[in-house]
Chain A
Amino acid sequence: MSLQYIGKRLFYLVVTAFVVSMIVFGITQILPANAAVMMLGEYATPDALAAVEERLGLNRPVAVQYLDWVWGILQGDMGNSLRTDLPVGPVVFEALGRSLILAGFALLSVIVIAIPLGVFAALNRGKKGDLFASFFSYVGISMPEFVLATLLLVVLSRPEIGLFPASGYVPLSEDFFKGLWHIALPVITLAIILTAHVMRMVRSEMIDTLQSEFVIAAKMRGLSKYTVLVHHALRNSLLPTITVLALDVGYLIGGIIVVEEIFAFPGVGRLLIVAVQERDLTMLQAGALVMSVTYSLVNLFADMAYAYLDRRIQYD
């Protein structure tokens, strides 16, 4: 992996971030009502509207408004909320931090459950264990997060069982175990769905690798089953899995939006839903941009990890 490759990828990341910012800004610009109408309501007097438009700079050409917005972001200012008039940047990043805790736990459980499960299914291909695991993964990829989350709530949080709280948030730094108890249901929901996606990938990669010539050769050299499995097959199956895992972060982000809304978790997903409901444009733009850039960064790291682990690939 050369420095040029890293440089090129970083350049692409910047280009992507710019295009995303154009899309996000463009979509919110074609809204039927502009920000001034949204702030003051539809019965505002023309004078009051003109005054707010003047203050927010809405009477300038769209291109100028866009450049102004981007220039602000480059200086660390994402604008003020149309609802509270406070800067949205700190609010979005604080919420992002909490969302990343959810995402981190969900990804961790995937590594602990999905990869072993995929290997197990591949080794028992066509047998009962594999059929059961495949059935589970089909159900998992066909179940929207809101259905699974609501069903889990119905079963595990009903008053007579009350295993987990139905909503709320306690910072992990304040009370670690109480915090864990509160994020349990959101994390379980995300983990089940992500496991279903990743397990399928690991299984099919593992089946392909187990049939490849170098694994057969390793077996014929008389290496132990364990050595062949872990050092030859698994290592090579995990490489494509890294890429898929990074792409699955896209689902994970969508899932986080839904799960945070259902469990009233104060993350960036819930912030977005509230912004949509309150028509808070600045908040929506900032949240969407931060989420998309996070996703691009994850993909960049995944590609770097892939390039680092697989020395056969020459990137230039």
Chain B
Amino acid sequence: MEQFIQEFSQKAISLLCNLPKVEIAKAMNILQAAFERDGRIYVIGNGGSLALATHWVSDFNKTVFSHNLEEHQRRFQAIRLPTTEEELTAWANDVGYEMVFAGPLRNYIQDSDVLIAISSSGNSENIVRAVELARANKVPVIGISGFDGGRLNALSDAKIMIPSNRGEYELVEGIHAIVLHIFTKYFKEYFDHVLLLRKDREELHTATV
């Protein structure tokens, strides 16, 4: 049993040591730009990836600012799509499962926005449809994929691919959670730093006056 655990963690460590750092950095610049222009960030995924998306939305909208919630007039607007199970099942039942993300995304999407698509295979048809819609609207796409990246990786502006054997969902989803937490941690520290500098400046100002 211990050997099983050891083998799994060794694989995870090796993937973590080789994170696509440049692509993760590019993704954080895309998020920074969305914040500057007050754009919205849509997050989509199937199954476990949808759970990651939902978890991240909560972190990004609230936890990122939680040290000083009231001080930050502008906050992120991250939205998991579809926003309700009713909408999800309506699109799936009435139109087709391939439209559960692209359908709702079409209602929301504006030029200032960003799409984060999470898919281990990178080939889920409903994910690819939404990514194609974003691309047609020239909205930047952060693709978080596994295995060989699939079509999602090819279509993304920030290509965060966790290379792995087909079917290794547990590893890929675990690393995806860490990547999403890197986004959260980075911006949390960034906004703390912004406030710190602002306070320093105010103190300096008071001192000179």
Q: A and B bound?
A: no
